[in-house]
């Protein structure tokens, strides 16, 4: 598996398995199947309500903990110094592990700076191998880095063929922050899996649209998370290292960019209030 080196020297498997929207009763088996398929990077979050099941799946996989890269995220109501300290302890217990490889602030709201100080302390104590953020605009990411000791290692943001974030990716890299893609398939919206541009490229290589998208991100050195509960799809999604896109392919994919989120804006006041009201 190809890896990406973070700004603190930690290596991250470039393809990760995400468990967002996987029901708890299906999560442990999905994690076991993903690990069996070759994934070593598992991404969860407090708000996904399946950390415990992720921990069970990891344990039942019989793969050594040190071979795995585990990410979880602090939810909005816990984004404060005390909130991080308390909720992170609960996350470790749920995951049944002594440390996580990556801890992210899930959203750019609440007491971000108090939360970051707590994360820095946990990082220095060896409870976390890398700390980062999710859904932060570049200016918020830079502000956080400038006024704290540790620069975020990762910013997990929406990146897919319809929301390519080219300038944002470049700006994050300029600050030493690795981009990580959530929703690379745009959750199937806008007919992405039958898109004629992506389908034509896939046919050329004998690959699916999903594989083309993942390869497109891998070739940009963007860490990417893919979710499925089907073992055959897991195997398909990880099988993207045996072909390369041409410049012509990449130019064609670039035409699909609409430059806006396929879901919602993180700067929309209504959405901020809605997210903040979600309790876990």
Binding residues for substrate: 106
Which position has the token pair 């039942």? 60
Q: Classify 165 in phi/psi space as left (phi over 0), alpha (psi -120 to 50) or beta.
A: left
Rounded Cα gap, residues 18 and 182, in angstroms = 8
Q: Are 50 and 22 in contact (CB under 8 A)?
A: yes
Name the H helices within 128-240: 138-146, 166-174, 196-205, 209-218, 231-238
Summarize the annotated binding site as residue ranges.
Answer: 106
Q: Are 173 and 142 in contact (CB under 8 A)?
A: no
Q: Which of 39, 48, 81, 113 is catalytic?
A: 48
> How remote is the C-alpha of 167 from its chain's centroid?
19
205 in catalytic set: no
Q: Are 77 and 111 in contact (CB under 8 A)?
A: no
Closest Cα partner for 40 from 4, 72, 67?
67
Residues with catalytic function: 48
């Amino acid at each position: 598996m190809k890896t990406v080196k973070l700004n603190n020297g930690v290596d991250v498997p470039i393809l990760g398995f995400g468990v967002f929207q996987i029901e708890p009763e299906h999560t442990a088996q999905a994690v076991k199947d993903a690990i069996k398929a070759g994934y070593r990077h598992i991404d969860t979050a407090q708000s996904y309500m399946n950390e415990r099941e992720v921990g069970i799946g990891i344990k039942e996989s019989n793969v050594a903990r040190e071979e795995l890269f585990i990410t979880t995220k602090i939810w909005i109501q816990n984004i404060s110094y005390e909130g991080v300290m308390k909720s992170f302890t609960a996350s470790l217990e749920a995951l049944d592990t002594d440390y996580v490889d990556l801890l992210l602030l899930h959203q750019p709201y609440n007491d971000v700076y108090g939360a970051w100080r707590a994360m820095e302390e946990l990082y220095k104590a060896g409870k976390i191998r890398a700390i980062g953020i999710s859904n932060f605009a570049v200016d918020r990411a830079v502000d956080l880095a400038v006024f704290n000791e540790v620069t975020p290692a990762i910013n997990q943001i929406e990146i897919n063929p319809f929301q390519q974030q080219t300038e944002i990716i470049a700006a994050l890299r300029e600050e030493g922050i690795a981009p990580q893609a959530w929703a690379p398939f745009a959750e199937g919206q806008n007919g992405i899996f039958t898109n004629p541009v992506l389908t034509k490229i896939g046919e050329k290589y004998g690959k699916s649209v999903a594989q083309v998208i993942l390869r497109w991100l891998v070739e940009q050195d963007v860490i990417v998370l893919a979710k499925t509960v089907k073992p055959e799809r897991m195997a398909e999604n990880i099988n993207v290292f045996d072909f390369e896109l041409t410049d012509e392919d990449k130019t064609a994919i670039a035409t699909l960019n609409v430059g806006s989120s396929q879901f919602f804006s993180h700067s929309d006041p209504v959405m901020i209030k809605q997210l903040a009201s979600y309790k876990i």
